[in-house]
Homo-oligomer: A and B are copies of this chain.
Amino acid sequence: MSENAFLRARRPEHKRQRREAILSAARELALRSGVREVSLGGVAAAVGMAKSNLARYFATREEIYLELSAREWQDWKHAVLARLPPSPTPDAVVDALTDTLAERPLFCDLLSHSATSLEHNVTVDAARAYKVCVLDVIGTLTEAIARTRPGFTEGEARELVAAATGLAALVYPASNPPPALAELYAREPDLAAACVPFQPTVKRLLSALAAGLPALR
User: A residues engaging B (CB < 8 A)?
Assistant: 36, 112-113, 115-117, 119-120, 122-124, 127-128, 131-132, 134-135, 159, 163, 166, 169-170, 173-174, 177-178, 180-181, 183-184, 188, 191, 193-194, 204-205, 207-213, 215-216
Beyond A115-B170, A208-B212, A208-B216: 16 further Cβ-contacts under 8 Å?
A: A36-B120, A112-B116, A115-B174, A116-B117, A122-B180, A128-B184, A131-B181, A131-B191, A135-B191, A159-B205, A169-B170, A204-B216, A207-B212, A208-B209, A209-B209, A211-B211
- Which of chain B's residues has its CB closest to A185's CB? B131
Give chain B nearest CB distance to A152 CB in angstroms: 12
Contacts of A120 in B (CB 8 A): 36, 178, 180
Decide: A131 and B211 in contact? CB cutoff 8 A: no
Give chain B nearest CB distance to A126 CB in angstroms: 8
Contacts of A174 in B (CB 8 A): 115
Decide: A208 and B215 in contact? CB cutoff 8 A: yes
Question: How many identical chains are in the complex?
Answer: 2
Give chain B nearest CB distance to A50 CB in angstroms: 26
Give chain B nearest CB distance to A33 CB in angstroms: 12
Contacts of A36 in B (CB 8 A): 116-117, 120
Contacts of A193 in B (CB 8 A): 135
Decide: A116 and B116 in contact? CB cutoff 8 A: yes
Contact A127-B180, Cβ < 8 Å, known A116-B112, A193-B135: yes
Decide: B212 and A135 in contact? CB cutoff 8 A: no
